[in-house]
Amino acid sequence: MRINAIAFSTNGCRTAIRLKEAFPEEDIRIFAKTQCDTLGVERIEEKTSVWTGESFKECDAIVFIGAIGIAVRYIAPYIRSKAVDPAVIGMDEHAHWTVALLAGHIGGANALTARIAERLGSEPIITTATDLNGKFSVDTFATVNNLRIMGLKTAQDVSVRVLDGGFVGFTTEIPVQGDLPAGLTLADSGEFGVSISTDIEKKPFGTTMRLVPMDIILGVGCKRDTDPAKLRDFVSSVLKEDGIPDQRIGAVCSIDLKKDEAAILELAKNYRVPAKFFTSEELLELEGEFSKSDFVKSVTAVDCVCERSSIRPFGGEIIRRKTAKDGMTLAICRRPMELRFL
């Protein structure tokens, strides 16, 4: 997870350092608007509004360490939709309080707030109604289980019904571990309900909250400086040929030699999924039958980047072997899906 944290005082810089040290598994980059050279924190000379805009584009989460009002003022121009906004969290300079400000469910601010509070010993402030009342949140359920939400307005309606003590039908093609939360009832039809299906058009209820499994993992390769539009069109044509809707895409994967390849990064951004990159050693650890290319092996030390990278992050079944066109390659893997209620 890429997290940008910005502090506005020397004490805030100390808290930023604590935050980074508490999460060695995350890519946390800390910045300051005050002079903190002795603490090793980079002072940014650009306007905080510019920094905030760049962080909205680049990061999974942004942490403001200072007054909450500062955070609110700077993020306001960049807020677009709960579907795409990063998590935004506010902390006081001594880390007494950690506040989930934006994108609590889909963006993961609530979960990250709880993690930060636990590791830094602060008090988490989470104000979303479903969390406060211990009720089912379809946003959180979808995010945790790698399901794409089709219709945010309907998701809000689910929460309102559950909070008001109503019942919401629930049907799924994929088994779910755990007890059915209060407010949900198993049903294949009815007035209102949640449906989990790879068929993005399936609407078994009068009003259906559709959740689509993001079970398709793309393994890609391309020549250096490939036109992003060219790669996007190639992948799109193959997906269309195989009858795979864009909504099922869960990740775009390749070898780490391509981690700065604009075409691959743009492809992941287009599908609103992470780009994952693996070393040749990580790809060669995989056992099984893969397509082979002596040329690719001479360049990357790996016989087939696209097939191996498609299956590397989650395992699963390769449903389309290496397909090549004009120096671009694509393989498609269907990952196993295991859903659980929180």
Residue-by-residue DSSP string for 271-283: HT--EEEE-HHHH
Are 18 and 105 found together in one domain? yes
Are 203 and 223 found together in one domain? no
Task: Read off the CATH number of the domain in which 303 is found.
Answer: 3.30.420.180
Q: pLDDT-based confidence at 132, cuts 50/70/90?
A: confident
Q: Which residues pair with 100 in a beta bridge?
A: 89
Based on the structure, what is the number of domains in the chain? 3
How would DSSP label each residue in 81-134? -TTTPPEEEEE-TTSSEEEEEE-SSSS-HHHHHHHHHHHHT-EEE---HHHHTT
**3-class SS at 336?**
coil
Of 68-72, 82-86, 176-180, 293-297, minimum mean pLDDT range: 293-297
The reply to whether 342 falls in a domain is no
Are 223 and 190 found together in one domain? no
Position 10, amino acid: T
Domain extent at residue 287:
216-334
Return the ∠ at Cα 95 (arms to 91 and 96), rounded to 5°: 100
Q: Return the percentage of the chain with pLDDT > 90, whole number.
A: 69
Q: pLDDT-based confidence at 44, cuts 50/70/90?
A: confident
Are 155 and 262 found together in one domain? no
The reply to whether 339 falls in a domain is no
Average pLDDT score over the chain: 91
Task: Read off the CATH number of the domain in which 156 is found.
Answer: 3.40.1390.40
Are 204 and 231 found together in one domain? no
Return the ∠ at Cα 192 (arms to 190 and 196), rounded to 5°: 95
Are 20 and 123 found together in one domain? yes
Q: Report the pLDDT value the prediction gives residue 37, as an integer from 0 to 100.
A: 62
Cβ neighbors of 77 (< 8 A, separation 6 or more) are: 49, 53
pTM over 0.85: no
Q: Return the percentage of the chain with pLDDT > 70, whole number.
A: 98
Are 195 and 263 found together in one domain? no
Are 231 and 157 found together in one domain? no
Are 227 and 114 found together in one domain? no
Are 105 and 22 found together in one domain? yes
The reply to whether 256 falls in a domain is yes
The reply to whether 168 falls in a domain is yes
- Single out the residue in 213, 233, 252 at which a domain terminates: 213
The reply to whether 206 falls in a domain is yes
Cα radius of gyration (the chain) = 22
- Single out the residue in 213, 248, 273 at which a domain terminates: 213
Residue pointed to by tokens 């909450």 = 68
Spatial distance between the Cα atoms of 203 and 210, rounded to a whole number of angstroms: 7
Spatial distance between the Cα atoms of 292 and 303, rounded to a whole number of angstroms: 5
Q: Report the pLDDT value the prediction gives residue 35, as an integer from 0 to 100.
A: 73
**3-class SS at 315?**
coil
- Single out the residue in 73, 97, 127 at which a domain terminates: 127
Are 113 and 152 found together in one domain? no
Cβ neighbors of 249 (< 8 A, separation 6 or more) are: 214, 216, 217, 218, 239, 271, 273
Q: Pairing relation of β-strands 147-150 and 168-172?
A: unpaired
Q: Report the pLDDT value the prediction gives residue 38, as an integer from 0 to 100.
A: 61
Q: Where are the beta strands (DSSP E) in 151-202?
A: 168-172, 176-177, 184-186, 190-196
Per residue in 105-130, pLDDT (tens digit) is: 888 899 899 999 999 999 999 988 77
pLDDT for residue 215 is more than 70: yes
Give the strand order in the sheet containing 190-196.
Answer: 147-150, 205-213, 190-196, 168-172, 184-186
The reply to whether 340 falls in a domain is no
The reply to whether 133 falls in a domain is no
Are 268 and 194 found together in one domain? no
Q: Which residue has the higher pLDDT, 256 or 42?
A: 256
The reply to whether 132 falls in a domain is no
Q: pLDDT-based confidence at 6, cuts 50/70/90?
A: very high
Per residue in 243-297, pLDDT (tens digit) is: 999 999 999 999 999 999 999 999 999 999 999 999 989 998 888 888 877 767 7
